[in-house]
């Protein structure tokens, strides 16, 4: 049966010890290490998204204040 390599996404036999395309090892310890790296990457992306959302909110508030002041000054 064929499975996909988690690293390069090529189809690989499920009995293979490593991916013939990229050399990714299917050793259980290497797979566990790979899963931990993916989890750290997900957490990092979540943190970046939170910071980005905060920054966008700050810019929105600045824009709203600018429009409010401009409207107040011109009226």
Q: Residue 59 CB: number of other CB atoms within 10 A?
A: 10
Give how far Cα 74 sits from Cα of 65, 66, 70, Å. 14, 12, 6
Q: Is 12 exposed, middle or buried, given 0-12, 13-18 or 19+ CB atoms closer than 10 A?
A: buried
Instruction: Answer whether 0.85 is exceeded by the pTM.
Output: no
Choose among 32, 39, 21: nearest CA to 3.
Answer: 21
Per-residue pLDDT of 21-73, as tens digits, reads 999 999 989 889 999 999 999 999 999 999 999 999 999 999 999 999 999 99
Q: How far apart are CA 30 and CA 6, in angstroms?
A: 11
Distance of alpha carbon 12 from the chain centroid: 25
């Amino acid at each position: 049966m064929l499975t996909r390599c988690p690293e390069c996404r090529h189809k690989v036999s499920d009995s293979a010890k490593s991916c013939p395309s990229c050399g990714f090892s299917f050793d259980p310890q290497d797979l566990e290490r790979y899963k931990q790296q993916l989890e750290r990457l997900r957490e990092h992306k979540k943190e970046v998204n939170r910071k980005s959302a905060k920054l966008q909110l700050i810019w929105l508030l600045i824009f709203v204040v600018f429009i409010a002041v401009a409207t107040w000054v011109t009226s």
